[in-house]
Structure 1
Amino acid sequence: MITIAERLKFAYDRITKAIKNSHISGQKVALLAVSKTKPSTLIREAYNANQRQFGESYVQEAVEKIAELSDLNDIEWHFIGPIQSNKSALVAAHFDWVQSVDRMKIARRLNEQRPSNSAKLNVLIQVNIDDEETKSGCAINELPELAAFVANAENLELRGLMAIPKKSETNEQQQASFAKLNACFTQLKAQYQSIDTLSMGMSNDVEAAISQGSTMVRIGTDIFGPRT
């Protein structure tokens, strides 16, 4: 049986190869291990293999795992799923990063609900880069206003952008969507010094995302196996 450590090594080797092929000077790409639906025992196994950044999409499940793994005090927890208003307080209280802020209402709630004794909540704005009706994310024309609010919020730190492009049949189509998001990222980065993270790319499109400037890829199945 392949171990979590071996799967992680494969994922990092894949990232390293993609960076080399991208020919982007100085590019660094972080790996977010997407652990949603997976038990805390597997997260601990990944932690013991030196993985520190983990992504969760289901609030209640994540909060329970965060409590179970509270002895691992250098884990970095990222919330990457849709945020319901009635769950925003839990997200604000328990996570280090939120990658799925897509509207002003949620940004305001997270800012108001972030505990006063916690560091600023790192925020990525989720963009609906391909204008899909069924997908979360703000429209590109809404991005400047939302970014300005997050950047000026007392308890939030604007760190960048995230997107889940539409499924594409070809590498060229994947790259086109990622290039569009990278253009938004570059424009915002020129305005806000805190911006440094472009979260795009998952198991099926890591190479295309990295070729277009991704600084963080989100990989779940290739590390933990199929979702339960």
Structure 2
Amino acid sequence: MSDDGSQYYSLTGKRVWVNGYRGMVGQALVRRLETIDCEILKTTSDDLDLRRQADAEDWMNDSKPEAVFLCAATVGGIMANDTRPAEFLYDNLAIEANVIHGAWRAGVEKLLYLGTGCMYPREAPQPIPEDCLLTGPLEPTNEWYAVAKIAGLKMCQAYRRQYGCDFITALPTNLYGPGDNFDPQDSHVIPALIQKAHAAKTEGAKSMEVWGSGAPLREFLYVDDA
């Protein structure tokens, strides 16, 4: 119990699995976990394809993680979402289904699934209240990713309700920081703007292209503060 009487899960002495640890959020989590007395288990898509159910379940049964941070995902910016809808939908549905179901079968004590702000409706009020989830249409440019991520949130709720699993979801706002993706085709807005500004500067250009009208409101948070 914490000082205010609420329950919390201590990671001290636990085997903690961070999948997708090479991503920006995964790297930040590992930096934080390295300050705690726990055993960190790390996997990447190169050594474990979480889209394959048998591989995911075999790894969990062999490695026996007690806590899981589900960070692995196929991600990208507006162009990537718009041009690879099937990949964004299938990959993320498969990853979260296999990890969440496998965690239940392996007896994982605690799982935190990483959601995303684009799960909220396009016309959600600002600042966004949590209870507006599923109250309106999604942003069309990333709805495939958003639909898959919403399914993951609902899976955590379903496994908690039916099996009593301590599986929860965190929905951080738009994150930026070390380890971000600066690819001009796949990056999100902050690294994309940095990359474009850097390219314009080094090439001596007098202007750079910025997508959109500039009217939308966005929240941003440094990844180590999330």
TM exceeding 0.5: no
The structure whose RCO (Cα within 8 Å, separation 6+) is larger is 1
TM-score, length-scaled by structure 1: 0.34
- When the two structures are superposed, what TM-score results if normalisation uses the length of structure 2? 0.34
